[in-house]
Amino acid sequence: MTVDLPIAVAMFLLAAVVIVVAATFLTTSADIIASRMRLGRLWVGSLLLAGATSLPELATAVAAALAGSAELAAGNMFGANMLNMSNLAILLALFGGRQVFQRLAPQQWLVAASAIAVTGIATLFAALRTDVTWLAVSIPGVVILVIYLVLSGVLRQYSKGIEEQSEEEEPSHSLRWAWMVFIVCAGAIFVSGPLLAFSAQRIADLTGIGASFMGVLALALVTTLPELTTTYTAFRIGAHDMAVANMYGTNSFNIAALAVADLSFSGGSLFGSVDISTVCAGLIATLLMSLGMLQILRRRPMKLFSLTEPSPPLIVGLYVLGLSVVFQLA
């Protein structure tokens, strides 16, 4: 089917609108699930909500891998992780409040550390152009998935018994209602993923933008809309732990999704087929997450403007600078 540029852009925007609307209701239902089942906002934000909002990245990465575009698959994930940290910094500055880091659960650093670990390992595989398979199964993909599952189990264990530091009102809806809304919204986000992948690839072809840059910039901008919307909604309802855990948990899930895409790649391991711009995106994502974790560990009042310690403008500035470097390398 031939699709011209206006139609491709319209498809792109339509998918984005569906994702944003679904993500808004997704957060509300996830908060009810956390309250009704007493799972805690940290765990729900880092695993349940993060997994649901990352479904577009999973769909687009697997679709790109099946199409043989390793750079688009990896660029999408690393670029999304970069943008998630910039988005989180902006949302923290606007809605978190000066004492936001003191309000977070002590275990929040573990969510950040997990995201840093899996992203760093994936970046290392990409930098070394690791292309090792066994019985046609990519070893890097298996290693990343195992590490992700182990870290998720550790997080679940350490997040038990966390007392929410924000006052929670009794949910107005039942657990059944929450699960129904959550599943429907997650499904809507998942269905929009292939549409995003197709339209983004078509726009890249028609505009002449390289696949790697498209993955880092345009595709990341839209596919991170679920995280941006859910995190904003979480801050708005006072669920600070869920908001921060959602962003870092999403970054972890993105790399797990990249591992799934790696297992779907027919040309060996996709980590052996990426270019330097993708590696650079992974390094920048790891750096931005590390700066964010430093803020969590310090547990000090947030400074909106500081050149001596991590601050929202510094993280956003590094993101813009890093994105320009990736663009030049692409």
* Gap between the Cα atoms of 131 and 137, Å rounded: 10
Tell me the pLDDT band of 218, cut-offs 50, 70 and 90. low
Measured in degrees and rounded to the nearest 5, phi and psi for residue 171 equal -55, 140
C-beta of residue 26 within 8 angstroms of C-beta of residue 234 = no
pLDDT for the residue numbered 222: 67
Kindly state the average pLDDT of the residues 253-268: 90
Largest CA distance in the chain: 55
Angle subtended at Cα 169 by Cα 302 and Cα 292, rounded to the nearest 5 degrees = 20
More reliable by pLDDT, 85 or 44: 85
For 63, 78, 211, 252, 268, the CA distances from 66, given in Å and listed in that order, are: 5, 18, 15, 22, 12
Residue 195 belongs to what domain range? 5-329
Q: How confident is the model at residue 214 (pLDDT cuts 50, 70, 90)?
A: low
CATH number for the domain harbouring residue 71: 1.20.1420.30
Is the pLDDT at 116 greater than 60, yes or no?
yes
Q: Is the pLDDT of residue 166 over 50?
A: no
Residue 63 has pLDDT above 80, yes or no: yes
> What's the gap between Cα 219 and its chain centre?
12
Instruction: Round to whole Å and give the CA distance between 179 and 236.
Output: 21
Please check whether residue 289 is in contact with residue 322, taking contact to mean a CB–CB distance below 8 angstroms: no
Question: Who has greater pLDDT, 305 or 321?
Answer: 321
Average pLDDT, the chain: 85
**pLDDT the model gives residue 171:** 66
Supply the pLDDT for residue 165.
Answer: 44
Structure tokens at 156: 């679940």
Under 8 Å between Cβ of 10 and 198: no
181 pLDDT exceeds 80?
yes
User: What b/e string do you get for 212-221 counting C-beta neighbours within 10 Å, with b at 16 or more?
Assistant: bbbbbbbbbe
Coil, helix or strand at residue 216: helix
**What's the pLDDT score for residue 167?**
46
Number of domains into which the chain is organized = 1
Least confident of 48-62, 197-211, 225-239, 301-315: 197-211
Lowest-confidence range among 94-108, 168-182, 250-264? Answer: 168-182
Per the DSSP assignment, residues forming a β-bridge with 134 are 137
Give the number of other CB atoms < 10 A from CB of residue 160: 12
Selected residue with higher pLDDT from 19 and 295: 295
| Residue 174: pLDDT over 70 | yes
pTM, two decimal places:
0.87
Task: Mean pLDDT check: name the lowest of 112-121, 233-242, 279-288.
Answer: 233-242
Q: Is the pLDDT of residue 239 over 80?
A: yes
Mean of pLDDT values over 26-52: 86
